[in-house]
Structures are given as structure tokens and as C-alpha cells.
């Protein structure tokens, strides 16, 4: 159960968040595996992977009562076998629904989110105390972020930092984990990545049209530890809004109005042999503010899953500092990767 902790944007206390108070409930089902074939289970102290169902209310008719379905990984922090205390951190990503979005006539006070369905990001840290071999109680903090990636405006996002209490029932008692295998050294090869992403973006409140955007990216990266790969590459972006006279004006239709891009620093946080969290910090050599590229630096954060050998699929949010650009749905291929 979760309570409190709304991060209110400046100037919205007496409009969107007037009288709002947050309560939430999570139900999570997870599985732990020794999975000797994938040594990342040992690297991360044998984490729990699972699916969560989330339900909440702001006790306000303005924001709505969102729910979410998400996948998560819950990782122990320096576990001690004989201790009744345990600690973990959690990463989750999913989709949410049932927001009451901004509407000029029906809901003009919701100035933070313009869509009923949004991306749900969940981060958490927790301490637990073991009462029996099957039952644990815990307390901690969480961070939730809801955003549509500028698919519909407004998109200031909803951000929460609630306090949490939990009850955890484990069907089977903890199996004593012995570090019985020697980790194979991580690869020294250079990996080459080619990725393609698509998405849509609403640029102005007075225009309902959503413009098509694509990304073509190429990177090279290398492991610097079991958990991290670092590298660099190039991102090239296409924005169909460069063809629109209301957006691009006299520059409408020009190639320079539709294309942008530049070099990018690449980082990958490897969770297991198939699942990777990816991020970028890039710099535009060429960009157009009327396409929503409002800063010279751009950021990206997301996740990728290798669905078959070197072929991966994923989702990420591209942003300019704290302002979302668009959500990218991606496919990619990694050359030289061992599997």
C-alpha cells in the first residue's frame, strides 16, 4: 500500500491538485530462479522477475483514478543468509489507464496530462523483516512517473514519491544460495547496434494533429563491467511536422526542416542475457525548434529485450532535459554479440 507524496508542478496547487490526496495499491507476483545458464542471476544476487497490477486514486475528479499493468525486476542489496532483515530495489515499466485527461470544456483544470492512457514507470527501495519462513513485512519509498511522451498535450506528467508498506508471502522458503559457479569473464568484443524507432507527437495545444517521427541510430559499445556497456554513435531523426505550413512556415517541405541529428553517448545497463536498460546523451549538430527540438542536448531512456538471438525490440522516451519529445517504439539488431 502507498500513501501521499505528490510532486506538484509550480502554479498547479490551486488548480489540478486542489484537494488531491494520493493512495495506491500494488499486487505483484514474482518468481526467483537460480538459472545457472544465465550468470546474471548470480551477478544480481538472484533477483525476482514478475508482473504487477497497480490501482490508485487522487480522491479528486480532476486527475482520475489510474491503474497500470507492468513488468518488474526486484533485486536484493547485499543479502545475508542468516539475517532476518533484507533490502531490495525495484525497477518497473508498464502501461496505465483511466486518467481523466485535459479537455477544454469538460476538464479544463487538468493541466498535467492530456491522455487517458500513459506510460507507467516505477522505482522503489525497501527494507523487509522476516516473521516466518514464508512471511515478510516491509516499508520503503517509491517513485512513479506517468507520461505520454507528448503524444497528447498537456504532458507535464504526474510524479509521485509515496511511502510504502508491504506484506510479502513466499510459497517456498528461501533456498540457501551458494556461490557455486565461477563467473565467466565478460566479453571484450565491440558490439555494433543498428536501431529503428517510430512514434508520434502533438506539438501545439491548438492543433489536435499528431505528427509522425522516426529515429535511425547506430552505435558501438563495449562492456566495462558485467552490468555496464558504454559506447557512442549517431542518431538521425525525421519529423513529418517539417512538411506542415502551420508548424514550419516558409521552411515547410525543406529537407532541413524534416531531418535532425548528431553524435550520442550510449550506455546500457545489462540486467540479464536478454534484458537491457538503455540510455543516451546526444548533441544536435542540426535541429529545428518548431519540431519540438527545443534544446541542443537530447536524452533517451528505455528498455530493450532480445527476442531472438541478436534481434531486439523495446520502448524508450526521448526528451530535452525535463521535457518529453516522444515515445519511441524500437526494433534493433546487434552485430558481434555473443548469445
pLDDT at res. 232: 98
pLDDT at site 96: 97
The pTM of the full predicted model, rounded to 2 decimals, is: 0.91
Q: Residues 26-75: pLDDT tens digits?
A: 999 999 877 667 889 889 999 999 999 999 999 999 999 999 999 999 99
Which single residue is written with the C-alpha cell 514464508? 134
Q: How confident is the model at residue 182 (pLDDT cuts 50, 70, 90)?
A: confident
CATH code reported for the domain at 2-169? 2.40.160.20
DSSP for 260-299, please give it.
EEEEEEEEEEE-SSSEEEEEEEEE-SB--GGGT--SSEEE
What is the overall mean pLDDT for the chain?
94
Output the furthest CA–CA distance in the chain (Å, rounded).
71
Q: d(Cα 146, Cα 118) in Å, to the nearest integer?
A: 6
Lowest mean pLDDT among 73-87, 92-106, 178-192: 178-192
By the 10 Å C-beta count (0-12 exposed, 13-18 middle, 19+ buried), 318 is classed as: buried
Q: What is the location of CATH 2.40.160.20 in the chain?
A: 2-169, 191-335
Identify the pLDDT of residue 74: 96
Task: Give me the CATH code for the 191-335 domain, please.
Answer: 2.40.160.20
Amino acid at each position: 500500500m502507498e500513501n501521499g507524496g505528490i510532486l506538484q508542478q509550480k502554479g498547479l496547487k490551486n488548480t489540478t491538485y486542489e484537494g488531491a490526496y494520493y493512495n495506491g495499491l500494488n499486487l505483484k507476483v514474482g518468481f526467483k530462479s537460480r538459472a545457472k545458464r544465465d550468470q546474471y542471476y548470480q551477478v544480481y544476487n538472484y533477483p525476482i522477475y514478475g508482473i504487477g497490477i497497480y490501482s490508485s486514486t487522487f480522491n479528486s475528479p480532476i486527475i482520475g483514478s489510474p491503474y497500470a499493468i507492468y513488468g518488474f525486476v526486484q533485486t536484493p542489496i547485499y543479502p545475508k543468509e542468516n539475517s532476518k532483515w533484507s533490502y531490495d530495489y525495484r525497477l518497473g515499466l508498464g502501461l496505465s489507464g483511466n486518467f481523466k485527461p485535459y479537455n477544454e470544456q469538460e476538464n479544463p483544470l487538468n493541466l498535467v496530462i492530456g491522455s487517458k492512457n500513459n506510460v507507467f514507470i516505477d522505482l522503489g527501495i525497501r527494507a523487509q523483516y522476516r516473521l516466518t519462513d514464508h512471511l515478510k513485512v516491509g516499508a520503503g519509498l517509491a517513485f512513479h512517473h506517468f507520461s505520454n511522451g507528448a503524444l497528447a498535450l498537456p504532458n507535464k506528467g504526474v510524479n509521485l514519491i509515496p511511502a510504502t508498506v508491504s506484506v510479502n508471502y513466499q510459497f517456498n522458503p528461501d533456498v540457501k544460495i551458494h556461490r557455486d559457479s565461477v563467473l565467466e569473464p565478460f566479453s571484450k568484443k565491440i558490439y555494433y547496434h543498428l536501431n529503428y524507432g517510430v512514434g508520434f507527437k502533438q506539438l501545439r495545444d491548438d492543433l489536435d494533429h499528431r505528427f509522425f517521427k522516426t529515429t535511425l541510430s547506430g552505435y558501438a559499445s563495449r562492456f566495462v563491467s558485467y552490468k555496464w556497456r558504454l559506447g557512442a554513435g549517431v542518431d538521425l531523426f525525421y519529423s513529418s511536422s517539417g512538411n506542415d505550413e502551420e508548424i514550419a512556415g516558409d521552411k515547410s517541405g525543406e529537407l532541413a526542416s524534416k531531418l535532425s541529428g548528431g553524435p550520442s553517448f550510449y550506455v546500457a545497463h545489462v540486467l540479464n542475457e536478454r534484458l537491457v536498460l538503455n540510455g543516451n546523451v546526444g548533441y544536435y549538430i542540426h535541429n529545428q525548434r518548431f519540431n519540438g527540438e527545443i534544446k541542443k542536448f537530447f536524452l533517451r531512456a528505455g528498455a530493450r529485450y532480445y527476442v531472438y538471438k541478436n534481434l531486439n525490440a523495446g520502448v524508450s522516451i526521448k526528451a530535452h532535459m525535463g521535457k518529453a519529445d516522444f515515445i519511441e517504439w524500437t526494433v534493433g539488431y546487434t552485430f558481434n554479440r555473443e548469445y
